Amino acid sequence: MNLISKILAPIDCSEASINALNYAIKIAKKHRAELTVLYVVSYLKGTGSQAFSKDKGPNLTIKKGAKNQLEESWKSLGENEIEADLVVEYGDPFTEIMRCAKSKKNDVIVMGSHGRTGLMHVVMGSVAEKVVRYSPIPVLVVKDESHDLFQKFDYEYDLHKQY
């Protein structure tokens, strides 16, 4: 029985989220799992070209730009051994991550963290922290690309076997 069959990897195209996506790809390959890569375009919060008005929704330029940015991020990884469902949603990142995880019946969420602290954390908030706190499914938060999970734990084991 495979414990991980569906993985959700929310990204914002930042370095931290791309590092997490690389982890999600490794996990998907190892478990032969389906991978959904989710890019959420946030509501207008004062500034930013990726934002849009909550009342009017995203305009056509933002829709095309978001889809193109997600596709380019995926292509830049040079990954051709695995297929991913590339999804763009519009709204609050936390809400859309939870909605996607539930609708796709994911087993795990793999996401990056910017590691903001102090005033930046208070101002920007932490989507990763909120997802960890409220997600009904396991969440793997990747903070640093230098840690190689699979090099350290590259062995097979049977969870059902009595040791």
Yes or no: say if 20 and 142 are a contact pair by the CB < 8 Å rule: yes
To which H or E segment does residue 19 belong? Answer: helix 15-31
Which pLDDT score is estimated for 54? 61
Confidence of residue 107 (pLDDT cuts 50, 70, 90): very high
Yes or no: say if 62 and 54 are a contact pair by the CB < 8 Å rule: no
Residue 71, Cα to own-chain centre: how many angstroms? Answer: 14
Q: How many other β-carbons are positioned within 10 Å of the β-carbon of residue 154?
A: 9
Q: Is 36 exposed, middle or buried (0-12, 13-18, 19+ CB in 10 A)?
A: buried
| pTM for the structure as a whole | 0.79
Cα gap 147→37, rounded to integer Å: 22
Confidence of residue 14 (pLDDT cuts 50, 70, 90): confident
Q: Which has more pLDDT, 129 or 122?
A: 129
Token match 């999804």: residue?
87
Beta strands in 24-137 (DSSP E): 34-41, 84-90, 108-112
Domains and CATH numbers, the chain: 6-152 (3.40.50.620)
Cα gap 48→152, rounded to integer Å: 39
Greatest mean pLDDT among 1-15, 90-104, 118-132 lies in: 90-104
Which pLDDT score is estimated for 52? 60
- State how beta strands 139-142 and 108-112 pair: parallel
For the ranges 19-23, 39-43, 91-95, the lowest mean pLDDT is seen at: 39-43
Confidence of residue 102 (pLDDT cuts 50, 70, 90): very high
Q: Which has more pLDDT, 89 or 58?
A: 89
Confidence of residue 1 (pLDDT cuts 50, 70, 90): low
84 pLDDT higher than 60: yes
The overall average pLDDT reported for the chain is: 80
Question: What are the tens digits of pLDDT across the range 43-59?
Answer: 755 445 555 666 666 66
Phi, psi of 24 (to 5 degrees): -60, -40
